[in-house]
């Protein structure tokens, strides 16, 4: 019989969002493969595995196969997403070690008896060890199933093109529905769940091309631009020859991380954001020039947000006021207050496009820092 206080500690851990976020962070930091996945996908599996572990600790007796269904599913999903077994295990083991450390610390803080903590840690280690074995089993089972399908051959070819820059033979391309001399749109979505990915893949295939999970995202090469899909964010690059898609794909992935809102987003529409995001050190230096502002002050954040809208609206006071649903005098007042705090004007016209870009970038980075 497990100590009631131990049960409470594990119950609180499994439902604590901070614990979930810490395990997500540790897993993503441990392996580049895992970090390439959308963060929401890692979070989804951490939550499921924590719930399974809590169920084990809430019950008496040994775990049965149903306790490990989530672990099998995690392994199968990662195989379908193209994550290496090494990357998968590094993520799982890092999360396992961190969960153990948090459990011990919380048990001590809660006043759990040392012998009860030791017993719980041994139980947890035995359970998570079994969990890890089932993750591996799920991975290998899915890997065998995938290797038997034409669809897997297409996904393998797609990964060769997008990740490795290989040039498949004309016969290999033809079997996947591609032609060497043709141009294709590189597509990257925010869909990582294998079930949802299969549904989206069927929709995209109607326009011709090859699609599959690449680095955890449903991606592909489309002969024609697809129609938008409700609830799906999709980045689409201009059509390009197959020997260029290896260089275009990382840009699409970067755009998928930066874009907001569902729908079809042209890659070139996000060119500015992608280029600026690639210079984090320079961005920080620019943001540091906004002296006199405090991230914890909501009024300061409102001033910066207003200045950004003013710039985005071509520095037209009326347009900025309409976008913010305030009176133009309110916009003018906020810009004046921002000028007082930072020691520079914000309502004048920048002398050049690049000067305007520097203003926008410094404001944007400063505002993002506090989120």
pLDDT tens readout for residues 65-110: 666 888 888 888 888 887 888 888 888 889 888 988 898 888 888 8
Predicted TM-score of the model (pTM): 0.64
pLDDT of residue 147: 64
164/204 same-domain check: yes
122/190 same-domain check: no
> pLDDT per residue over 167-181, tens digit each?
888 888 988 889 988
181 or 2, which is more confident: 181
* Among candidate residues 290, 289, 258, the one with its CA nearest the CA of residue 275: 258
- Inform me whether the pLDDT recorded for 165 exceeds 70: yes
124/229 same-domain check: no
| 3-state SS class at 209 | strand
How far from chain centre, in Å, is Cα 63?
32
91/59 same-domain check: yes
CA pair distance 171, 173, nearest whole angstrom:
5
Q: Where residue 8 falls among pLDDT bands split at 50, 70, 90? A: confident
Q: Write down which residue in 277, 301, 332 finishes a domain.
A: 277
167/268 same-domain check: yes
Contact indicator for 195, 252 with CB cutoff of 8 Å:
no
134/80 same-domain check: yes
Q: Which domain holds residue 253?
A: 150-277
127/244 same-domain check: no
250/154 same-domain check: yes
> pLDDT per residue over 51-63, tens digit each?
887 777 777 666 6
- Inform me whether the pLDDT recorded for 323 exceeds 90: yes
- Inform me whether the pLDDT recorded for 64 exceeds 80: no
* Among candidate residues 135, 105, 131, 132, the one with its CA nearest the CA of residue 120: 105
Contact indicator for 19, 102 with CB cutoff of 8 Å:
yes
- Taking each continuous run of H as one helix and of E as one strand, the counts in the chain are 17, 6
How far from chain centre, in Å, is Cα 199?
20
Q: Write down which residue in 229, 252, 277 finishes a domain.
A: 277
158/271 same-domain check: yes
């Amino acid at each position: 019989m497990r100590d009631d206080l131990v049960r409470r500690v594990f119950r609180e851990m499994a439902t604590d969002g901070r614990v979930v976020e810490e395990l997500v962070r540790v897993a993503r930091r441990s392996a580049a493969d895992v970090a390439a996945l959308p963060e929401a996908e890692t979070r989804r599996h951490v939550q499921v595995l924590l719930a399974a572990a809590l169920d084990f600790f809430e019950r008496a007796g040994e775990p049965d196969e149903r306790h490990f269904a989530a672990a099998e599913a995690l392994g199968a999903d990662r195989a379908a997403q193209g994550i290496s077994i090494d990357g998968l295990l590094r993520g799982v083991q890092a999360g396992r070690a961190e969960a153990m450390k948090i459990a011990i610390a919380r048990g001590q803080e809660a006043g759990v008896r040392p012998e009860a903590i030791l017993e719980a840690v041994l139980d947890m280690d035995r359970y998570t060890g079994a969990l890890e074995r089932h993750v591996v089993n799920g991975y290998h089972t899915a890997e065998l199933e995938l290797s038997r399908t034409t669809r897997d051959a297409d996904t393998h070819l797609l990964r060769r093109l997008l990740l490795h820059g290989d040039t498949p033979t004309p016969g290999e391309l033809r079997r996947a529905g591609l032609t060497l001399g043709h141009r294709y749109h590189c597509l990257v979505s925010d869909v990582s769940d294998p079930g949802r990915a299969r549904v989206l893949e069927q929709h995209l295939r109607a326009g011709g091309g090859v699609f599959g999970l690449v680095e955890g995202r449903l991606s592909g090469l489309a002969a024609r631009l697809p129609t938008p899909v409700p609830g799906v964010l999709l980045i689409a690059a201009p059509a390009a020859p197959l020997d260029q898609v290896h260089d275009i794909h990382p840009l699409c992935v970067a755009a998928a991380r930066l874009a907001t809102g569902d729908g079809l987003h042209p890659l070139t529409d996000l060119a500015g954001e992608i280029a600026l995001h690639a210079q984090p050190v320079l961005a920080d230096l620019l943001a540091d020039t906004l002296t006199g502002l405090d991230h914890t002050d909501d009024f300061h954040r409102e001033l910066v947000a207003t200045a950004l809208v003013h710039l985005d609206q071509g520095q037209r006071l009326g347009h900025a006021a309409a976008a913010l649903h305030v009176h133009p005098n309110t916009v003018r007042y906020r810009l004046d207050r921002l000028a007082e705090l930072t020691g520079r004007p914000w309502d004048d016209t920048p002398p050049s496009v690049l000067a305007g870009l520097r203003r926008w970038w410094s404001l944007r980075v400063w505002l993002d820092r506090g989120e």
